[in-house]
């Protein structure tokens, strides 16, 4: 049976740009548009020409892409003709393949927000669609507040959608603008709309205010809609938009959808979706959600020993899809609940195959358990685990010694008479016969220590120039004067690899020092620095 075509419309660059704390530059927008094109979405809604200089310049020239570049804007203002509305004229002049108009479809909003009549709003929809079609653009109409509007006045909401459809709009998109609709409501309403407008002309635009934007999108598809609007990583104002990074794998990998529908995302592109999702986080300078479905680092992580041994025998026992399909990895966590199979699987992952009865496996397991009992967390510190394992096997070269370090924190008045706190670290290390002393100031004691440690490693310096710390987390493990501090550090380098290291001590500087040292030694080891 031929599969039906389903279209993906991405609005990361328009609705996603409404996210609190997100500000795209033109370069960001072009980079993200490239990622979306690589993924294979059908439409890239890139912004609102005329609304701000960045969006205006995005649309000032053709942006050659496979996806249809879409400009967003309002239908003509009430009481004006299409040619006499500067906003609409800017939209029509934008270098875009398609134009997505937004229009009110809730009678209450027409009266209160637009301060116009229901009939004038319908005329504005018709005129705007007609004007864009006359310009040769493909036209979409976003029916704002459609589900709330439909509840209040179904005939009017439908009339708005129908006005665009009758005028030749390619898509009429039903928007749950406030994000409060529930899946069964969406399914009912979309079903009603599809009796009047063919489903292959109907789209869904869901917001995530009840954490059901993805479910609502699928409810609309079940009811007949054939276009899904969403964003990468569910970016969007308030609680975000429907997350295409969750929707795409479900469409491609779940037989209920995969057998029925075809999308423009290839299997190869699906295999890059982890990289694309994390690439966006990287660009936004945000930590990726470890628990994100399909793409999170923990999406295929298993902790308990009994599950782990079953997973090693037969992955399907505890996984709903094969992680490789989306470019993710199976991860068996090494923890104090760990059985031998976890440790063996982790060793395998880092390229060390030992026989399961090898006494060194028992020794490593005992060591991990002992250290976890005093606060180390190897499941969150892959690089420290690897160092522990390789040290036991004598595979970690002895690069350098830290003879001593000294960190001080001083509070004083600066030249302007302001109160400032300054940290300084002095580190004395020995590389072979060479003694090196480095001094650095930092915004805090750990920062100063990190800078001093990495300032001069003598002959190893060139191996660590690309090393940067991307995250530093402190956790106090038990209260009172006996408190133990655990420090987790995430590092990255010029290859884009991320690794995590851990340190534990009653003293936060000591704990940080251990984690910093592990990070540096790991980097030297993986860069193949000679002993």
Segment near Zn ion (CB under 5 A); pick from 14-22, 95-103, 163-171, 461-469: 14-22
Site string for Zn ion, 379-398 (x = CB under 5 A): --------------------
Query: Would you count residue 142 as binding Zn ion (CB under 5 A)?
Result: no
Q: Which is nearer to Zn ion, 15 or 167 (CB)?
A: 15
CB nearer to Zn ion: pick between 208 and 384: 208
**Of 15 and 187, CB closest to Zn ion:** 15
Question: Could you give phi then psi for residue 116, rounded to 5 degrees?
Answer: -140, -175
Q: How far is the CB of 212 from Zn ion (least distance, A)?
A: 15
Applying CB under 5 A, which part among 11-19, 317-325, 467-475, 483-491 lies near Zn ion? 11-19
From residue 60, give the alpha-carbon distance in Å to each of 47, 182, 211, 453. 12, 39, 37, 49
User: 130 phi and psi, to 5 degrees?
Assistant: -65, -45
At its nearest, how many Å lie between Zn ion and the CB of residue 224? 21
> CB 248 → Zn ion: shortest distance, Å?
19
At closest approach, how far in Å is the CB of 225 from Zn ion? 16
Q: Sign of torsion, CA 226 231 234 235?
A: negative
Nearest Cα residue to 475 out of 516, 509, 508: 508
Count of beta carbons in the 10 Å neighbourhood of residue 428: 15
DSSP, collapsed to helix, strand or coil, labels residue 188 as: helix
Supply 128's token pair: 């705007």
What is the residue-wise DSSP string for 472-502? EEEEE-S-STT--EEEEEEEE-TT--EEEEE
In angstroms, the CA 338 to CA 332 distance is 9
- In whole angstroms, how close is the CB of 5 to Zn ion at the nearest point? 24
User: Which DSSP string corresponds to 56-79?
Assistant: HHHTTS----SSEEEEEEEPPPTT
CB of 24 to Zn ion, least distance (A): 16
Stretch that binds Zn ion, among 10-18, 43-51, 244-252, 423-431 (CB under 5 A): 10-18
Which runs of consecutive H residues, i.e. helices, occur in 334-393?
340-349, 359-373, 382-392
Nearer to Zn ion, 18 or 56 (CB): 18
User: Closest CB to Zn ion among 100 and 159?
Assistant: 100
Angle between helices 508-526 and 382-392 (to 10 degrees): 70
**Binding of Zn ion by 15 (CB under 5 A):** yes
b/e burial code for range 224-235 (CB count within 10 A of at least 16 → b): bbbbbbbbbbbb
Measuring CA to CA, how many Å separate 129 from each of 7, 99, 134, 353, 416? 20, 9, 9, 64, 62
**Dist. CA 296–CA 349, nearest whole Å:** 18
* 162-165 own/partner pairs: CB under 8 Å, 24+ apart: 162/196, 162/197, 163/122, 163/125, 163/126, 163/129, 164/101, 164/103, 164/125, 164/126, 164/129, 164/139, 165/197, 165/201
Shortest distance, position 182 Cβ to Zn ion, whole Å: 17
Smallest separation, CB 252 to Zn ion (Å): 24
Q: Could you tell me the smallest distance in angstroms from the CB atom of residue 237 to Zn ion?
A: 8
CB of 205 to Zn ion, least distance (A): 6
Site membership for Zn ion, residue 10 (CB under 5 A):
no
Tokens at 266, concatenated: 């290839």
Virtual CA dihedral for 350, 356, 357, 363, nearest 10 degrees?
A: 40
- Measured from the CB atom, the residue of 236 and 327 that comes closer to Zn ion is 236
- C-alpha–C-alpha distance, residues 278 and 296, integer Å: 9
Q: Do residues 228 and 11 make contact, with C-beta atoms less than 8 angstroms apart?
A: no
When the beta carbons of 10 and 15 are compared against Zn ion, the nearer one is 15
Which range, of 15-23, 154-162, 304-312, 399-407, touches Zn ion by CB under 5 A?
Answer: 15-23
Q: Which is nearer to Zn ion, 100 or 139 (CB)?
A: 100
Instruction: Give the nearest distance from C-beta 142 to Zn ion in angstroms.
Output: 8
Nearer to Zn ion, 105 or 302 (CB): 105
Please answer whether residues 491 and 523 qualify as being in contact, where contact means their C-beta atoms are separated by less than 8 angstroms.
yes
Q: In whole angstroms, how close is the CB of 99 to Zn ion at the nearest point?
A: 16
Residue with nearest beta carbon to Zn ion: 15
The interface with Zn ion within residues 148-177 (CB under 5 A) comprises none
How many CB atoms are closer than 10 A to CB 530? 9
**Burial class of residue 455 in the structure, from the number of CB atoms within 10 Å of its CB (0-12 exposed, 13-18 middle, 19+ buried):** middle
Determine the size of the site formed for Zn ion (CB under 5 A). Answer: 1
* 121 vs 231, beta carbon nearer Zn ion: 231
Q: What's the closest the beta carbon of residue 417 comes to Zn ion, in angstroms?
A: 50
Helix (H, G, I), strand (E, B) or coil at 407: strand
Q: Residue 15 or 297: which CB sits closer to Zn ion?
A: 15
Q: Residue 245 or 321: which CB sits closer to Zn ion?
A: 245
Using the minimum distance from each CB to Zn ion, give the nearer residue, 189 or 345.
189
* Distance (Å) of CA 235 to CA 21, 382, 471, 493: 11, 29, 22, 27
Tell me which stretch binds Zn ion (CB under 5 A): 9-17, 111-119, 148-156, 284-292: 9-17
Q: Could you list the residues that contact Zn ion (CB under 5 A)? A: 15
């Amino acid at each position: 049976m031929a599969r039906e075509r389903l279209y993906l419309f991405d609005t990361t660059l328009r609705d996603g740009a409404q996210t609190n704390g997100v500000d795209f530059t033109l370069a960001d927008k072009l980079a993200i548009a490239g990622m979306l094109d690589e993924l294979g979405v059908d439409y890239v809604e890139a912004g609102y020409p005329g609304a701000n200089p960045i969006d205006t310049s995005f649309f000032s020239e053709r942006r050659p892409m496979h996806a249809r570049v879409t400009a967003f804007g309002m239908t003509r203002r009430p009481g004006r003709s299409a040619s006499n509305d500067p906003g609409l004229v800017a939209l029509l002049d934008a270098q875009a393949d398609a134009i997505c108009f937004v229009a009110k479809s809730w009678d209450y909003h027409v009266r209160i927000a637009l301060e116009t009549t229901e009939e004038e709003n319908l005329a504005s929809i018709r005129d705007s669609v007609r004007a864009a079609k006359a310009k040769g653009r493909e036209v979409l109409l976003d029916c704002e507040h459609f589900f709330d509007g439909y509840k209040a006045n179904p005939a009017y909401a439908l009339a708005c959608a129908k006005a665009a459809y009758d005028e030749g709009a390619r898509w009429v998109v039903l928007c749950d603008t406030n994000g409060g609709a529930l899946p069964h409501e969406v399914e009912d309403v979309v079903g009603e709309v599809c009796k009047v407008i063919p489903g292959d002309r109907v789209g869904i635009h869901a917001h995530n205010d009840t954490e059901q934007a993805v479910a609502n999108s699928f409810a609309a598809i079940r009811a007949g809609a054939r276009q899904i609007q969403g964003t990468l990583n569910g970016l969007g104002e308030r609680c975000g938009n429907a997350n295409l990074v969750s929707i795409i794998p479900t469409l491609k990998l779940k037989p209920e959808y995969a057998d029925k529908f075809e999308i423009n995302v290839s299997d190869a592109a699906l295999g890059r979706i982890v990289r694309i999702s994390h690439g966006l986080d990287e660009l936004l300078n945000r930590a990726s959600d470890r628990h994100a479905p399909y793409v999170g680092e923990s999406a295929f992580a298993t902790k308990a020993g009994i599950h782990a041994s079953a997973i090693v025998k037969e992955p399907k026992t505890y996984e709903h899809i094969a992680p490789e399909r989306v470019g993710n990895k199976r991860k068996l966590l090494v923890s104090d609940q760990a059985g031998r199979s976890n440790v063996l699987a982790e060793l395998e992952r880092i390229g060390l195959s030992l026989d399961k009865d090898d006494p060194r496996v028992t020794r490593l397991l005992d060591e991990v358990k002992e250290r976890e009992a005093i606060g180390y967390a190897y499941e969150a510190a892959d690089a420290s685990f690897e160092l522990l394992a390789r040290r036991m096997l004598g595979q970690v070269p002895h690069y350098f010694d830290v003879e001593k370090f000294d960190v001080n924190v001083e509070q004083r008045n600066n030249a302007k008479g302001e109160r400032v706190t300054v940290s300084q670290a002095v580190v004395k290390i020995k590389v072979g016969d060479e003694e090196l002393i480095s001094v650095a100031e930092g915004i805090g004691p750990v920062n100063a220590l990190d800078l001093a440690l990495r300032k001069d490693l003598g002959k190893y310096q060139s191996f660590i120039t690309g090393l940067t710390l991307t995250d530093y987390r402190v956790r106090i493990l038990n209260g009172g004067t006996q408190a133990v501090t655990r420090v987790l550090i995430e590092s990255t380098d010029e290859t884009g690899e991320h690794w995590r290291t851990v340190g534990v001590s009653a003293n936060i500087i000591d704990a940080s020092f251990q984690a910093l040292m592990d990070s540096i030694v790991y980097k030297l080891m993986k860069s193949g620095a000679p002993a």
